[in-house]
Amino acid sequence: MEGETLQTPHLPPLHVLQFHTSSVMPRTMRSFILPDLISMVPFQFASSPHFKRASAESSAWIDSFNVFRDRKRADFIQSCTELLVSYGYPSAAYEEFRTCCDFMNIVFLLDEICDDQDEGDSRSTGDVFLRALRGDDNAQTSTLGHITKEFTERFNRKASKRCQQRLWSLSKGYLDAMADEAECRRNGRVPNTDLYMQIRREVSGVRLCYGMFEYVLGIELPDQVFENPTFLNMYWAAVDMIGLSNDLYSYKMEYKRGLEGSNYISVLMREKGLSLQGAVDHIGAQYKALLDKFLRHEAMLPSFGHPSVDSGLRRYVECMKQSIVGYNVWCFDTYRYFGPEDRDVRRTLVVRLDERVEHARNEAIKDRRNDTAVTV
């Protein structure tokens, strides 16, 4: 949307918003064909040379806190969060790369905790994280607070004050949106498409990853850049593209667990009366329009009157490009979404839905609660 800012959208109280009640997909729809996003995106893929060493260190670090029991720990390892960092920050120096791995593991942890909480508990979790991110000693007595404290000490060694403040603000937006989503989930309500996209921008965690770009690059862009309409069009297009990718790739996993009701595919099916394949095709066309918008506005980026700012901005844009192509590749290089079928799905683009387990949603939530051992 034109005229946007980087501020988190101010959403009205939930009771005045337009929602749809959750419903399940007809059992007759057993597969769909993905749009070929990897071929669609014209950006060069790269990965980090530091992945093997840093990922082992970061994984051992987060595992040392014993935050997950056996099943959830297996899910965590299978997700390969450090591999996503490798594809998203391929040019980062070793220390910065390791710090990004730690941060991504914390974001994964926050997502797992808040997914099982109601609005009040989710906000309490967020408060612990935000206070620890600010260096509040009282917040650092909990496991989550202690984890965050160790990350913050590493991050603050090289991050500028402005970069630190931006990451804190982005984290607050993310956690506020997670709490709003928890309230929707508790009431079995799903927002309409427009509101969904606003909330999705925050809960996807993409903006948190973008909040690390200046740290990784060793730059500090002025507010003038982040207020520029041309840059904002690129920024939001990139964020929305990754959000759409996630909904496409995660649907199979969420369907099997009975949790697909809040996926954008389901939102489109309910609101627009689309079939499963029709909703997937709609998202593919939406993704292509966003990509065209990103490229069109890249060609229109102005100079900001200082060589170092212009150079820093070009490098920031390259990071956005890496995040777009890197996320698409990562989704097929882990078992998180497609399991052992990942290579076949990437080759054929055909996603076959697994049989839904009876009462899958309640069992999934029960399992998640039993497997999360962190104390906030």
DSSP per position, 208-276: HHHTTHHHHHT----HHHHT-HHHHHHHHHHHHHHHHHHHHHHHHHHHHTT-GGGSHHHHHHHHH---H
Give me the domain span that covers residue 288: 40-371
Average pLDDT over all residues of the chain: 87
Mean pLDDT of 355-360: 60
Q: Is residue 218 part of a domain?
A: yes
Q: Is residue 4 part of a domain?
A: no
Query: What pLDDT, on a 0 to 100 scale, did the predictor assign at position 120?
Result: 86
Q: Is residue 376 part of a domain?
A: no
Query: What pLDDT, on a 0 to 100 scale, did the predictor assign at position 21?
Result: 45
N- to C-terminal Cα separation, the chain = 37
Query: What pLDDT, on a 0 to 100 scale, did the predictor assign at position 56?
Result: 94
- Residue 85 sits in a domain whose CATH number is 1.10.600.10
Residue 92 has pLDDT above 90, yes or no: yes
Q: Is residue 2 part of a domain?
A: no
Mean pLDDT of 317-334: 97
DSSP code, position 44:
P
Residue where the block lists tokens 């593991």: 105
- Segment of 18-22, 70-74, 250-254, 367-371 carrying the highest mean pLDDT: 250-254
As a whole-number percent, the residues of the chain with pLDDT over 70 amount to: 84
pTM here?
0.88
Residue of 61 and 16 predicted with greater confidence: 61
Mean pLDDT of 28-35: 87
Where does the pLDDT of residue 274 fall: very low under 50, low under 70, confident under 90, or very high at 90 and above? Answer: very high
129, 103 contact by CB (below 8 A): no
Q: For residue range 183-208, list pLDDT tens digits in order.
A: 777 777 777 898 889 888 999 999 99
Q: Is residue 62 part of a domain?
A: yes
- CA dist 322 and 240 (Å) reads 15
Whole-angstrom CA distances from 176 to 121, 201, 202 are 12, 12, 9
Residue of 18 and 269 predicted with greater confidence: 269
Q: Is residue 344 part of a domain?
A: yes
One-letter amino acid at 324 equals I
User: What is the count of structural domains for the chain?
Assistant: 1
Q: Is residue 363 part of a domain?
A: yes
Where does the pLDDT of residue 156 fall: very low under 50, low under 70, confident under 90, or very high at 90 and above? Answer: very high
Query: What pLDDT, on a 0 to 100 scale, did the predictor assign at position 119?
Result: 82
